[in-house]
A and B are shown apart, each in its own frame.
Chain A
């Protein structure tokens, strides 16, 4: 057995950034352990020859194109299981994101394979792959080896860099897949619905982000006032977006956006891994939280243990005074 198979998620004619990271990483690792750097794509007519072949730019040598429903895990499990069984790939690799977790887990069961998730790096050692996985709130990293093949590697969000290696067009191979009955029992009714106002947080140099610690939706006014004084924008955690306190477009983290501003000021955010992966590359991280044990105090540059309702208004006034003076 040899080679690495990745999955590339696409939407509206473009591939997902984390998928392209996985394709790039797969291509790099395939060079080290030998075999194809192959990719599975599942979708409809929008998966044109050109779009599929463009994965060669990221080092893919072969793209298996499967006609099937998009945005759900099980059909991709069926497709990847067939491609792995027919072509004996040694590893299946996924970039970070919801769907990669679901597909990787499904393949684990289908192929009786080992799986490691939240992987931040992959090493080639004596022709095999070893996955590095942080555990216990990132306080330790375990090296995981696979017993038998295939091995399934599910990356953490943004773990793998997108690298345009300048390869030529990838070979595109159409594959017919008989989908399992249960794969047809989940049907997408609506995909990619945007809720709430559209705000742009990715271009902001200064971000004030609010979490559950704000207490209520009205608490975001404190963040907006401070962001206004700083000349920045407001972002939010998944928990408060799901609670309807702030628009989806402002969400940072696992299923939201990834940002790296000059200043990330986190107000009432505990700093769970799912949030951390979306903002840890920020240049300066300031955290205000009343819980001294919040994980965010482990990776912020300046942490304030205190009541944000008391601190934020005074900070806003002080910033205004400083900038005005």
Chain B
């Protein structure tokens, strides 16, 4: 079995994010990191590889992003991926969900994996949708928010929470699965793995290399356009107490609740 894991470089959670007013896009300068949700997808791939229920020949990390995104791939291979593919091209800048999904599906087509894994969402764009976009392009079955995944008789048995409780779904391979963060506890990379990451094969591809129709990607190829950015409706900030003296803090909470007649 060959597994491709889709990963993404996102602004570090500790860095304040902002929208560039001129381009109306997320300002992606500053500290970057591997999207934390993606580490669950890599861990899921590694558990399949190490689990023995199926033979996994290769785990390949795939990303689309600017030149700096190779760092997310280094992180991904330090967590266990065997090699990585970086789709990068100026023509891709400003791609929306539809364009990004199309572009990634072209890279995946060339890799021809038996299983595509991804995290449930990206830490920056908060999209939950890329997996299902990619799956439809690849004509593969897909499922999102999977919290348990086993290989049985060449098929996947997946569990997830849906609208009415827990669903169990059987899926034939090849398939695209986005995993929820409850599926596992990702490992930390060893120092040796971090040092060795740069030595693992990293292929860089342009849109032309990947056979991507340049008219369908980038800001011009996107099917949505941002008209404007507005502040959210104002909400008066709540009162914040730093707990220094717990007895005093508790008294303040009780008084606050009592004023609102919540202790009647």
A108 located at the interface, meaning its Cβ lies under 8 Å from any Cβ of chain B in the complex: yes
Using Cβ atoms and an 8 Å threshold, which residues of chain A touch B241?
302-306
Is there contact, CB below 8 Å, between A99 and B162? Answer: yes
A-B contact count (CB 8 A): 281
A130-154 interface (Cβ within 8 A of B): 130, 134-136, 138-148, 151, 154
**Whole-angstrom CA separation of A243 from B180 in the bound complex:** 12
Q: Known: A143-B227, A190-B168. Is A273-B126 also a contact (CB below 8 A)?
A: yes
**Whole-angstrom CA separation of A165 from B181 in the bound complex:** 40
Using Cβ atoms and an 8 Å threshold, which residues of chain B touch A206?
262
Nearest CB to that of B237 among chain A residues?
Answer: A298
Is there contact, CB below 8 Å, between B169 and A182? Answer: no
Using Cβ atoms and an 8 Å threshold, which residues of chain B touch A172?
none
B163 contact from A98, A109, A298, A306, Cβ within 8 A = A98
A101 contact from B132, B181, B238, Cβ within 8 A = B132
Could you tell me the distance in whole angstroms from the C-beta of B236 to the nearest C-beta in chain A? 9
A195 located at the interface, meaning its Cβ lies under 8 Å from any Cβ of chain B in the complex: yes
Is there contact, CB below 8 Å, between A191 and B164? Answer: yes
Is there contact, CB below 8 Å, between A118 and B126? Answer: yes
**Whole-angstrom CA separation of A101 from B133 in the bound complex:** 10
Using Cβ atoms and an 8 Å threshold, which residues of chain B touch A322?
254, 258, 263
**Whole-angstrom CA separation of A189 from B165 in the bound complex:** 13
Encode B115-146 as 1/0 by CB contact (under 8 A) with A.
Answer: 00000000011111111111111011111110
Using Cβ atoms and an 8 Å threshold, which residues of chain A touch B144?
98, 101-102
Is there contact, CB below 8 Å, between A105 and B97? Answer: yes
Is there contact, CB below 8 Å, between A319 and B166? Answer: no
Is there contact, CB below 8 Å, between B254 and A105? Answer: no
A177 located at the interface, meaning its Cβ lies under 8 Å from any Cβ of chain B in the complex: no
Using Cβ atoms and an 8 Å threshold, which residues of chain B touch A301?
238-239
**Whole-angstrom CA separation of A299 from B240 in the bound complex:** 11
**Whole-angstrom CA separation of A22 from B180 in the bound complex:** 26
**Whole-angstrom CA separation of A239 from B157 in the bound complex:** 21
A193 located at the interface, meaning its Cβ lies under 8 Å from any Cβ of chain B in the complex: yes
Using Cβ atoms and an 8 Å threshold, which residues of chain A touch B109?
none
Q: Known: A190-B167, A304-B243, A304-B253. Is A182-B24 also a contact (CB below 8 A)?
A: no
A51 located at the interface, meaning its Cβ lies under 8 Å from any Cβ of chain B in the complex: no
B96 located at the interface, meaning its Cβ lies under 8 Å from any Cβ of chain A in the complex: yes
B253 contact from A72, A194, A302, Cβ within 8 A = A302
B93-129 interface (Cβ within 8 A of A): 96-98, 101-102, 105, 124-129
Is there contact, CB below 8 Å, between B141 and A141? Answer: no
**Whole-angstrom CA separation of A206 from B171 in the bound complex:** 42
A228-286 interface (Cβ within 8 A of B): 230, 238-239, 241-243, 248, 251, 255-256, 262-263, 273, 284-286
Could you tell me the distance in whole angstroms from the C-beta of B105 to the nearest C-beta in chain A? 8
Using Cβ atoms and an 8 Å threshold, which residues of chain A touch B161?
98, 238, 241-242, 248, 251, 255-256
Question: How big is chain A's contact interface, by range?
Answer: 35 or more
Is there contact, CB below 8 Å, between B249 and A73? Answer: no
Q: Known: A113-B98, A302-B239, A302-B256. Is A11-B163 also a contact (CB below 8 A)?
A: yes
A48 located at the interface, meaning its Cβ lies under 8 Å from any Cβ of chain B in the complex: no
Segment of A34-42, A59-67, A84-92, A307-315 in the binding face: A307-315
Nearest CB to that of A274 among chain B residues?
Answer: B121
Is there contact, CB below 8 Å, between A306 and B249? Answer: yes
Nearest CB to that of B235 among chain A residues?
Answer: A299
**Whole-angstrom CA separation of A298 from B246 in the bound complex:** 22
**Whole-angstrom CA separation of A210 from B167 in the bound complex:** 24
Q: Known: A105-B130, A117-B128, A248-B166. Is A315-B253 also a contact (CB below 8 A)?
A: yes
Could you tell me the distance in whole angstroms from the C-beta of B264 to the nearest C-beta in chain A? 8
Is there contact, CB below 8 Å, between B229 and A141? Answer: yes
B144-193 interface (Cβ within 8 A of A): 144-145, 147, 157, 160-172, 175, 180-182
Nearest CB to that of B162 among chain A residues?
Answer: A98
B96 contact from A114, A134, A284, Cβ within 8 A = A114
Is there contact, CB below 8 Å, between B249 and A304? Answer: yes
Is there contact, CB below 8 Å, between A189 and B168? Answer: yes
- Give 7 new A-B contacts, CB below 8 A, not counting A74-B142, A192-B164: A101-B144, A105-B136, A188-B167, A190-B168, A286-B257, A300-B238, A307-B243
Subset of 6 A-B contacts with CB under 8 Å:
A98-B160, A140-B230, A186-B170, A194-B165, A242-B161, A303-B241
